[in-house]
């Protein structure tokens, strides 16, 4: 006669319909809790991304200003050197230069940042006045 071996009941799997119902309810509760945690984490990530998008124009303006600063200083230095050279030339020649030489206007910094408006418009963060 062949012997049949029965395995002992597993502590991880339900053994009766009552246990199966409790197991399913516990599993559903765990799944719901897991989904709620994922949703909370996703909402936090979304809020952080929205804040970053709002800060992007300011970040880019700051970086642009940092890169522009040495160029503006160089231009101002060149303009003052040009004025000094013109003055020296006038003294050497003893006369006035013709005014046909182009003179750059002094630098004017805009108070309203165009880059910020452009980025806000590009990302749809700025509401149009209607």
Asked whether the predicted pLDDT for residue 48 surpasses 80, the reply is yes
What's residue 130's pLDDT?
41
Average pLDDT, the chain: 77
pLDDT in tens, 63-105: 998 999 999 999 999 999 999 999 888 888 876 555 555 555 5
Pick from 45, 51, 43: nearest CA to 125:
51
C-alpha distances (whole Å) from 31 to each of 27, 49, 123 are: 6, 27, 36
Residue 13 has pLDDT above 60, yes or no: no
**CA-CA distance, 57 to 124, in Å (whole number)?**
12
- Whole-model pTM: value is 0.39
């Amino acid at each position: 006669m062949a012997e049949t071996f029965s395995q002992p009941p597993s502590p991880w799997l339900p053994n009766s319909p009552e246990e199966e119902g409790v197991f399913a309810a516990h599993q559903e509760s765990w799944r719901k809790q897991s989904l709620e945690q994922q949703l909370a984490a996703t909402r936090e990530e979304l809020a952080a991304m929205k804040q970053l998008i709002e800060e992007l124009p300011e970040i880019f303006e700051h970086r642009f200003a940092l890169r522009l600063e040495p160029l503006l200083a160089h231009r101002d230095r060149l303009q003052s050197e040009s004025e000094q050279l013109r003055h020296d030339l006038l003294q050497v020649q003893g006369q006035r230069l013709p005014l046909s030489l182009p003179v750059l206007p002094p630098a004017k910094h805009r108070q309203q940042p165009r880059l910020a408006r452009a980025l806000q418009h590009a990302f749809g963060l700025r509401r149009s006045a209607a």
